[in-house]
Copies of this chain bind each other. A is one copy, B any other.
Amino acid sequence: MQVLLKKYMEKNRSDCPISCSLEVFGDKWSLLIIRDIMLRGKVSYSEFLESEEKIATNILANRLSVLEAEQILKKQVSPHNKSKYCYSLTPKGVDLLPIVIEIMDWGAKYHVQCPRRELGKRIKKEKAAVISEYLDKLHRDARHASKQ
Interface of A is mostly: helix
Size class of the A contact interface (CB-based, 8 Å): 35 or more
Cβ contact within 8 Å between A103 and B99: yes
Residues of B within 8 A of A57 (CB): none
CA A104 to CA B18, docked complex, whole Å: 5
Cβ contact within 8 Å between B27 and A28: yes
Name A93-148 residues within 8 Å CB distance of B: 95-96, 98-100, 102-111, 113-116, 120
Residues of B within 8 A of A12 (CB): 111, 113
14 A-B pairs (CB sep. < 8 Å):
A12-B111, A16-B52, A17-B107, A17-B111, A17-B114, A17-B116, A18-B104, A19-B32, A21-B103, A23-B28, A27-B28, A95-B106, A98-B102, A98-B106
